[in-house]
């Protein structure tokens, strides 16, 4: 414990010679391992943990029945603890016999190319890169050193990826964006001539798609974290260290700032500007630009079904009610209110 405290800049409460061999959940815990308490919701579990130690805040330290590392951000300290005990997946240099590698591709001798991978012409694979089974790296794409494509990942033509990126199974990076022009009753495809540029230390979740740009590139800056099943439209730009949770959809040409946090199920219209340090809560529909940092929400939380049905019925009358309120506010000398105004057309 004392050694961990020194590495992680924490203080120890209790026996500093306690030995730790791994990490665990707070409940039920595991002998010889260390858990963490960050969410007050789980404070009731602390007194019953079987862990050898915990990471927690100074306020919770007096309640701990076991030695503790005291930190202002227990979740962050626990993440760094987990890194110390984790066994990272390192590259095992070589190209599997079933892989297909174009003669003009440049594969570093320290890279691992798994079974049934395809690497097309002029692609470049950096040092210590791991391509899991069935990955495709299209022509002229670049994969930076120590990046890992777990399995069944598609990297499109000309996509560039920085160092230490992780792309989870089923992700598609650099497919065509959704670009079509109307010709009467028909749609004419607009060629998608841009590509995707990804910075260092980006992580992209399973079955997430990042479309290539129409003319300019789609860009994910360094440290961006994308969850599973996210759709990123063409020419979107996402600023450094922004995190986006699952099932979010971002329409084309929207620009998202740095250090934003976007919760699950958010929908964004296209061509918007989102400022730095914006937080958007779950299931929010963003239809206009957000020019200032802060927390933004829309939508209604779950409710009893009968009450929800009554409220839905009332929603239909809001426009009429708004017209009546305006008429009352104008007073008896306001004259006759036009029918269109009564219906709230200028609400």
The residues carrying an active-site annotation are: 234
C-alpha to C-alpha distance for 267 and 287, rounded to whole angstroms: 8
Nearest to 134 by CA among 99, 159, 88: 99
Query: In angstroms, rounded to a whole number, what is the distance separating the alpha carbons of residues 294 and 43?
Result: 29
User: How far is residue 286 from each of residues 33, 81, 243, measured CA to CA in Å?
Assistant: 43, 37, 16
Burial of 181 (0-12, 13-18, 19+ CB in 10 A): exposed
Please name every residue paired with 187 in a beta bridge, in sequence order, or none if there are none.
182
DSSP state of 66: S
Q: φ, ψ for residue 24 (rounded to 5)?
A: -155, 170
| DSSP label of 290 | B
Q: Is 69 helix (H, G, I), strand (E, B) or coil?
A: strand
What is the C-alpha separation between 291 and 289, in angstroms, rounded? 6
Edge-to-edge strand list for the sheet holding 160-161? 106-107, 124-125, 142-143, 160-161, 196-198, 218-220, 237-238, 255-256, 273-274
User: Cα dihedral sign for 43, 44, 46, 49?
Assistant: negative
């Amino acid at each position: 414990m004392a050694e961990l405290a020194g590495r992680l800049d924490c203080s120890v409460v209790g026996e500093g010679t306690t030995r730790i061999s791994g990490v665990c959940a707070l409940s039920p815990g595991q002998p010889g391992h260390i858990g963490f308490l960050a969410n007050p919701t789980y404070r009731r579990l602390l007194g019953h943990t079987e862990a050898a130690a915990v990471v927690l805040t100074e306020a919770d330290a007096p309640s701990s029945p076991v030695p503790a590392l005291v930190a202002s951000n227990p979740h962050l300290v626990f993440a760094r603890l987990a890194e110390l005990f984790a066994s990272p997946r390192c590259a095992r240099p070589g190209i599997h016999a079933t892989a297909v590698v174009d003669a003009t591709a440049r594969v570093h001798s320290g890279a691992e190319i798994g079974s049934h991978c395809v690497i097309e012409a002029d692609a470049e694979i950096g040092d210590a890169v791991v391509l899991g089974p069935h990955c495709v790296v299209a022509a002229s794409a670049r994969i930076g050193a120590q990046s890992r494509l777990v399995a069944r990942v598609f990297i499109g033509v000309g996509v560039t990826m920085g160092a230490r990126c992780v792309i989870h199974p089923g992700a598609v990076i650099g497919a065509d964006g959704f670009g079509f022009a109307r010709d009467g009753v028909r749609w004419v495809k607009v060629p998608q001539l841009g590509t995707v540029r990804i910075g260092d230390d980006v992580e992209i979740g399973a079955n997430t798609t990042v479309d290539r740009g129409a003319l300019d590139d789609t860009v994910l800056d360094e440290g961006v974290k994308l969850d599973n099943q996210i759709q990123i439209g063409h020419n979107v730009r996402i600023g450094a260290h922004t995190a986006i949770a699952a099932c979010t959809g971002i329409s084309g040409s929207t620009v998202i700032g740095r250090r934003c946090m976007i919760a699950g199920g958010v929908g964004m219209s296209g061509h918007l500007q989102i400022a730095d340090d914006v937080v958007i809560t779950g299931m929010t529909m963003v239809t206009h630009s957000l020019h200032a940092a802060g927390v933004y929400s829309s939508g209604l939380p779950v409710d009893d079904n009968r009450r929800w049905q009554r409220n839905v019925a009332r929603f239909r009358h809001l426009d009429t009610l708004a017209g009546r309120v305006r008429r009352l506010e104008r007073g008896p000398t306001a004259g006759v209110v036009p029918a269109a105004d009564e219906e709230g057309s200028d609400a």
